[in-house]
Structures are given as C-alpha cells and as structure tokens.
Structure 1
C-alpha cells in the first residue's frame, strides 16, 4: 500500500473477524508476526506490515515517531476500516500506545506485549545490558542471531528460536533504529506520559514474559496509570512470549473479557 506521502509499505492481510493490526518491534526491524497471524486468524482479520524503511517496505524516511504514527494511521485506514485492536510488541508496543493516546476513537483495544514502559530508559536499559551478557559484534545475520539467542531461557531451543526470528532476513535499518530510539528517549524524559495515560479510555491488556531480559518492573508505572488495564505475566516466557508459551499467550489475548 501507499502512505499519504507516497511511501510504499509491505502489508499482509488474512483471517476473518474484527481487525487486529500488529506493530512489530525494533525500530529498524521488520514484521515477525507470522505465528501470531496464524494463531489469531480464526478470530480476527489480521494485518501485518513492515514499518517505513524496514523489511519489505520502501527504504526512505523520515524516521520519526510522528511519521510512524501517521503510517500506522494509514495502515488502519487502508486495511482495518478505520478502527482495530492493536497488538504491539517491544518498540511496537510503545508505538501502539502512542497511537491509542492520539486516536482513541480508532482503537478498540490495545494489547501491549513486552514493552518497556513510560519511564526513563535508565529504569530498564542498564539491567537489560547486564542480563544480555554481550554486545552486538556486527550487523550481519550471524552476529544478530548469536545475540538474539540470549533472549531465550530454554537453552536447548534458543538457537532455533533466534534463527526463526531471522527468517526471512532483511538488513536492519540502523538509521531508523538510532534516530527513533533517541527521539523516544528524549520524549520520555521531557513528557509526562503518565498523565496522558490516565485519560485513556481504551481497554489495555499488558502481556509480559517473566524471563524477559528487560526488567518487567519498568512497566509498573504504565499499568498504574492506565484506568482500564489487565496484566498477564507468563511464567518462564521471555521477550517473545507467544513463541515459548503459545497457549498461554493466545489464552490471555482471546480470553480477555473486554474483547
């Protein structure tokens, strides 16, 4: 599809039912929600998309939060009839939250998965780096897979899960990653996001994996600020909780009484 400024975005639509739009992590990565689309295809019209400059979408900027929100609005308008449930993962959870705050009339429900909250990044990033136990040695596929392997506590299947994340493989958009991450960090320091969250009337489901390397306490202030929130922590799951506990994850999303 084309955004309102003419940028070509890759999208994939399947399933049947109320629209469910995925917002992938990164920034600078691509949609990895194939398993999720299959999981929910019997209950939702699923909409996957690669964000601007990422994966199969056109590699052009600008790379900003406002542009990302506008692109998401275009995706919803094109494929979701103007309103949808949003399922955001990691950075995509923050993107989906910001969209719900700005367009509550277009969001039926927000599923906030493995996000890092609304506080300063110092509340989670130092501990994450310690827990990760390594640094990225290069931006090629093999180096990234080695790093991603650390995300999974099941050591026997960790490499398999990391390989699946990297298949298909697209070059990481480093400019997109650096630019948007810096902007988000600045906005979180300078903006009282909790005050905006207290006014949100969209139902929110927060799903965490207890073994995520990013401290789950970082999300506590977000949960405390939201007036209509339910939180599910999946024991033993990590940053991609649907991979390690698919039954628990689908049960949390589909079993939410506010669906």
Structure 2
C-alpha cells in the first residue's frame, strides 16, 4: 500500500488508511524517524478499526519543512484529523510517538477517544540517566567499546563524517533496545536514509521543558479519556517513570510485557496484541 501525500497545516504529509470503523492513528517514534508501525497495525481488527499511519514533517515521505517543534507537530496531527473528516480518534504512539500522543491528547482532549502509550519514557527527566546506564549494560562488550569511543569523538566531527557517526551511534543504541538480538534485521532502518537528525535534535532539545511545564502536568491529571500504558520489561528506558505518569492519570491501565524490549511487537506480538485489543474492547468498543 502506497498511501497518499496531502497538504496539511502548510506541509505535505504522507498518510495511509486501512480498514473501517473507529479511527485509530499510529504515531511513529524518532523524532525524525519514519512510519514503521505496520506490524502494530496488523495486530488490529480492520473490520472494527480504521487504522491511520502517517509520517511527521521532516520524515522520509513527508516534506522536509520546519518548524520542527512540539507545538507544530501537535497541530499537524490535529489538522490531519480534520483533513480526514474524523470527529474523534484513538491516539496510539510508540517511543517519541508516545510522548507526542500524550502532548496531543492533552491539548486536544475533545478529539481523543482513548490514548495508547507504547514504550514511552514518562515525563520525569530522571529517566535519561537510568536509560544511559541500562543501555550500556545491554550492549555487547564490542558494541559498548565502540559506542563509548564514538561518543568521545563526536563533537570533533563535522559534515558527512559527523552525520555518519550519529547514525552509527543510533544503530548501536537501537541494538540495545532489543530483548532478542536476532530481531535486529526486523528493526526500523538505522542507516540514516530515513532519519532526520535535524528534527531529532530540535525536537529533543525542548522535550524536558515542555513536559515539565506546570500547566501541562496539571492538565494530564484531569483528563478522563481511557489510557493504556504498555512497556517492555527489558526496555532500557525504565518502566517506573511510565508507571509514575500512568498513576497520575484518572482512567489509566499500566502493563509490563516480560522479556520484551523497546519494540514489543518483535519479541511478543501476541502479548502486545492481546493487551491492546482487550483494552479497546473494554474501553472503546463496549461504549459504542
């Protein structure tokens, strides 16, 4: 399926719809990556759900046009909903996409039927330090040695050499995300062709301030739409920070999938599918 490219909020965005029924939008990670969530779409019943995937501005098939900031990415998502003629939808994000889903749902809560938050980080910036330690511990000795070396020289590199080094660091980091290293070839591509480092850096630089804003933190504690938080038990991003976030939301469920990493559909697709579909059956389909 090729999808289509449409003018949305002043930028050309690639998007794809499958199935019929209650709309659910899948939001990829990054920032600056691309849509890799077809395996998650395959876990959903297309006779009951209209599954929408799209690529954020700056990502592969979408236009490389700024600004690259959280407020704009939220508005892109809302304008995509309006463009598609949808009254409400389920918002499901993975990794950075989970953060974007949370930010969008907090601003446009009247447009949201439910939130699904997969392999996110929570809003407490303390997760960064724990993640760095866990990531190194999950690397093989050879990968760890290379990663530490490349990090030590990264600031001395410029141009294509610097970009290549960032891509290699990202690849080593993503390897550590896996519970089963044999699934590496099934991961989103990490050679840089579909990763926009500019988007990654500019969005990443504002995340801590955005998600620690007092008004934002107050808002997430007041929304009543149902929310599902799913995390892999061996994801280097500590699940306690996600649990902390889920505990501050009114109508939320928190689930850890054992022996699953940052991409739980690679390690335990059946378990992930069961958690998502049971949640949707209980919280969304039963209310129709």
How does the TM-score come out when normalised to structure 1?
A: 0.90
Checking the alignment, whether the CA contact within 8 Å between 1:149 and 1:159 is kept in structure 2 is yes
Checking the alignment, whether the CA contact within 8 Å between 2:8 and 2:83 is kept in structure 1 is no
- The 2-side partners of 1:12 and 1:167 are apart by 22
Q: Kindly state the Cα deviation for residue 167 of structure 1 after the two structures are TM-superposed.
A: 8.1
User: 2:140 corresponds to which residue?
Assistant: none
Within 5 Å, give how 1:1-259 maps onto structure 2. Answer: 1-5=6-10, 7-42=11-46, 43-79=48-84, 81-119=86-124, 121=125, 123-133=126-136, 134=144, 135=147, 137=150, 139-140=163-164, 144-155=170-181, 157-162=182-187, 165-166=188-189, 170-256=193-279, 257-259=282-284
Q: Deviations over 1:191-242 (max 9, x none)?
A: 3533211111111011111111101111122112100001111111111112
- The 1-side partners of 2:75 and 2:219 are apart by 19
Q: Kindly state the Cα deviation for residue 139 of structure 1 after the two structures are TM-superposed.
A: 4.5
Deviates more, 1:135-144 or 1:63-72: 135-144
Aligned pair in 2 of structure 1 residues 223, 150: CA closer, same or farther (>3 Å)? same
Q: Deviations over 1:85-127 (max 9, x none)?
A: 01111111111111111111111000011111121x2x11112
Checking the alignment, whether the CA contact within 8 Å between 2:23 and 2:50 is kept in structure 1 is yes
Aligned pair in 2 of structure 1 residues 168, 8: CA closer, same or farther (>3 Å)? farther
Q: Kindly state the Cα deviation for residue 186 of structure 1 after the two structures are TM-superposed.
A: 1.8
- The 2-side partners of 1:183 and 1:258 are apart by 33
Checking the alignment, whether the CA contact within 8 Å between 1:69 and 1:99 is kept in structure 2 is yes
Structure 2 portions without partners, runs of 5+: 1-5, 137-143, 151-161
Structure 1 portions without partners, runs of 5+: none
SS in 1 for 2:205: helix
- The 2-side partners of 1:242 and 1:80 are apart by 30
Q: Kindly state the Cα deviation for residue 65 of structure 1 after the two structures are TM-superposed.
A: 0.7
Checking the alignment, whether the CA contact within 8 Å between 2:243 and 2:254 is kept in structure 1 is no
- The 2-side partners of 1:139 and 1:213 are apart by 24
| Equivalent residue pairs, number | 253
Checking the alignment, whether the CA contact within 8 Å between 1:77 and 1:83 is kept in structure 2 is no
- The 1-side partners of 2:203 and 2:51 are apart by 26
Deviates more, 1:165-174 or 1:51-60: 165-174
- Structure number with larger C-alpha Rg: 2
- The 2-side partners of 1:66 and 1:104 are apart by 15
